[in-house]
């Protein structure tokens, strides 16, 4: 009996990539995230949905400690990545962010060439041994972000000169080039046309075979299409978290239902 439960537990913890326990976030005096508990599984796409300003981006930024860069932001509670507390003093946030990559809500390409934008991460982390390997990584990443065909003839052009949607895909390419274990995507498709959106969704689906992906989205259809788990945030609270099918067809909380059916937002 005892052995059985132990076995169950280890299997369980192996499956869970990130576990958040009683996370609270304050910006100065305002309480942005309230007692959030969530478990993000490995090789799964988790969608964060909720009305604007409910704290999705804030919570996402906690997962790779990007909130450290905001002076007034304080994070309380535990966030475990592979069972290790990422807010522990021994953890190097720089190392952490290499493992937990991020695509930001607003596209932010560097004022460098398209090539250098994508090669930035691999260069910093020494992922390529020579130019040929680096070229390969760059091409593969750009292909995965569905932008290769548009930029392959002008890799030396500045990344800031692309259109908004192209910039966003460039940022996705840049993030996948470092081969993170978890990819956090904050509304990656908000500036994309339906074709590019479909390609990015395809990429997300492909990434799922190896990584864990967390995606913030305002599109219910997108959440339903790409994710296996969905978390619904409202006013800083995690209202409901469960399998996507269940959240969309049979939500437990009335707030979730009204949001999904378009009554609060």
Ligand X SMILES: Nc1ncnc2c1ncn2[C@@H]1O[C@H](COP(=O)(O)OP(=O)(O)OP(=O)(O)O)[C@@H](O)[C@H]1O
Give the Cα separation of 232 and 244 in Å (integer).
10
Task: Tell me the site size for ligand X, rule CB under 6 A.
Answer: 12
Of the pair 142, 224, the CB lying nearest other proteins is at 142
Q: Are strands 182-186 and 212-216 parallel, antiparallel or unpaired?
A: parallel
**3-state DSSP call for residue 63?**
coil
- Contact between 53 and ligand X (CB under 6 A)? yes
Cβ 48 to Mg ion, closest distance in Å? 9
Cβ 161 to ligand X, closest distance in Å? 26
Helix (H) or strand (E) holding 201: helix 194-207
- Contact between 256 and ligand X (CB under 6 A)? no
160, 117 contact by CB (below 8 A):
no
Q: How far is CA 46 from CA 161, 180, 182, 232, in A?
A: 32, 16, 11, 11
Residue window 88-127: x/- pattern of binding to other proteins, with contact defined by CB under 8 A = ------xxxxxx-xx-x-x-xxxxx-------xx--xx--
Hey, which residues between 97 and 126 contact Mg ion (CB under 5 A)? 105
Q: What is the DSSP code (8-state) at residue 162?
A: S
Q: Are strands 30-41 and 16-27 parallel, antiparallel or unpaired?
A: antiparallel
- Contact between 265 and ligand X (CB under 6 A)? no
Hey, which residues between 11 and 50 contact ligand X (CB under 6 A)? 27, 32, 50
Query: Which residues in this chain contact other proteins in the complex, by CB under 8 A?
Result: 64, 66, 69, 71, 94-99, 101-102, 104, 106, 108-112, 120-121, 124-125, 158, 160, 171, 174-175, 178
């Amino acid at each position: 009996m005892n052995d059985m439960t132990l076995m169950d537990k280890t299997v369980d913890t192996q499956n869970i990539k990130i576990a958040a326990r009683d996370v609270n976030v304050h910006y100065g005096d305002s309480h942005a995230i309230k007692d959030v508990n969530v478990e993000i599984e490995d090789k799964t796409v988790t969608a964060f949905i909720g009305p604007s300003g409910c704290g999705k981006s804030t919570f996402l930024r906690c997962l790779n400690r990007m909130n450290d860069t905001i002076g007034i932001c304080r994070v309380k509670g535990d966030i475990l990545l592979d069972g290790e507390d990422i807010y522990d003093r021994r953890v190097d946030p720089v190392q952490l962010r290499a493992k937990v990559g991020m695509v930001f809500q607003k596209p932010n390409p560097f004022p460098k060439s398209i090539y250098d934008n994508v090669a930035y991460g691999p260069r910093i982390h020494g992922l390529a041994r020579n130019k040929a390997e680096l070229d390969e990584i760059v091409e593969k990443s750009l292909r995965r972000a569905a932008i290769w065909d548009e930029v392959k003839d002008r890799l030396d052009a500045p990344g800031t000169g692309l259109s908004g949607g192209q910039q966003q895909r460039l940022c996705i390419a840049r993030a996948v080039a470092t081969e993170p274990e978890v990819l956090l995507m904050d509304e990656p498709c908000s500036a994309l046309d339906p074709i590019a959106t479909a390609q990015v969704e395809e990429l997300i689906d492909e990434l799922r075979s190896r990584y864990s992906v967390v995606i913030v989205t305002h599109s219910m259809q997108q959440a339903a299409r790409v994710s296996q788990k969905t978390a619904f945030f409202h006013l800083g609270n995690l209202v409901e978290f469960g399998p996507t099918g269940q959240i969309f067809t049979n939500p437990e909380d009335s707030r979730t239902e009204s949001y999904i059916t378009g009554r609060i937002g």
